[in-house]
Amino acid sequence: MKGVIIGAGKYGEVYLSYLQEAGYEIIGFLDDSPSEQGAFHLGIPVLGPISILTNLKSTHSIECVFCPLGNNKLRAKLLKRAKDLGYKTPGYIHPTARISPNVQIGEGVYILMDTNVMPHVIIHNYVMISTGANISHHTTLMEGVFVSTGVNLGASINVKPFAYCGMGSTIMTGVKELGEDCLIGAGAVVIKDVPDHAVVAGVPAKIIRIKTT
């Protein structure tokens, strides 16, 4: 299946390798950065800005779009746009990920190597889970959540849309909710609920600030 990757940065290169290994024929990257126009990454060209998605089905016979961007809201927005244009937005699960058979997984979800997902987890659309994360039972990841490398998410936690769990952070069982668009700092240990738009860090995690935009 022919596809393109939105975002020609280093993470785009990582996903290029994964997707090629999975059998996808990646025709090119899309990127709005002026410095990327005409560039090549690992032999694959940047075809142009994201706006050319409107024509790629006819000009390059593209069937699917991948968008491994760390910006949660932008990732979800662009994948929804691609779907509205008639593209498929498949997910990707690395073959070393260990996922219980009864886990519910939405559309456009990316799960990388050595991740563990226990039974009765629900993963909504456009979630990204990086390497070596552990997601405990009965936890829900809402739309556009990002779970970084080595994160440990306890049981029965509701992670609201666009929350970002930084590298190596731990969210203890007993926490009920991580707020919408919150940011958990790298290495933080969260022992109580996090409000919407809060930035927390430390051991135990404390609120550093509340995002205003």
Q: Is the pLDDT assigned to residue 198 strictly greater than 70?
A: yes
Of 51-60, 128-137, 148-157, where does mean pLDDT reach its minimum?
51-60
CA–CA distance, 140 with 123 (Å, rounded to integer): 6
What's the confidence (pLDDT) of residue 212? 86
What's the confidence (pLDDT) of residue 38? 86
Strand positions, DSSP E, 13-73: 25-30, 40-41, 44-48, 64-66
What's the confidence (pLDDT) of residue 52? 92
What's the confidence (pLDDT) of residue 213? 67
Work out the mean pLDDT of the chain and round it to a whole number.
96
What sign results for the dihedral spanned by CA atoms 179, 182, 185, 186? positive
Q: Is the pLDDT assigned to residue 202 strictly greater than 70?
A: yes
Can you tell me which residue has the tokens 């058979």? 101
What's the confidence (pLDDT) of residue 193? 98
Could you tell me the pLDDT band of residue 58, with boundaries at 50, 70 and 90? confident
CA–CA distance, 85 with 7 (Å, rounded to integer): 18
Instruction: For residue 20, give Cα distances in angstroms to 1, 41, 43, 72, 92.
Output: 10, 13, 12, 24, 11
What's the confidence (pLDDT) of residue 39? 87
Could you tell me the pLDDT band of residue 98, with boundaries at 50, 70 and 90? very high
Identify the CATH number of the domain defined by range 92-210: 2.160.10.10
Say if CB 189 and CB 170 are below 8 A apart: yes
Could you tell me the pLDDT band of residue 138, with boundaries at 50, 70 and 90? very high
CA–CA distance, 66 with 77 (Å, rounded to integer): 12
Identify the CATH number of the domain defined by range 2-84: 3.40.50.20
User: Helix, strand, coil: what percent of the chain each, to 5?
Assistant: 20, 30, 50
Q: Is the pLDDT assigned to residue 85 strictly greater than 70?
A: yes
Could you tell me the pLDDT band of residue 57, with boundaries at 50, 70 and 90? confident
Q: Where are the domains of the chain?
A: 2-84, 92-210
Can you tell me which residue has the tokens 């800005």? 49
Which residues have a Cβ under 8 Å from the Cβ of 4 and sit 6 or more positions away? Answer: 26, 27, 28, 29, 30, 47, 53, 56, 60, 62, 64, 65, 66
Q: What is the mean pLDDT of residues 177-199?
A: 98
Q: Rounded to two decimals, what is the model's pTM?
A: 0.94
Q: What is the mean pLDDT of residues 81-109?
A: 97
Q: Is the pLDDT assigned to residue 80 strictly greater than 80?
A: yes
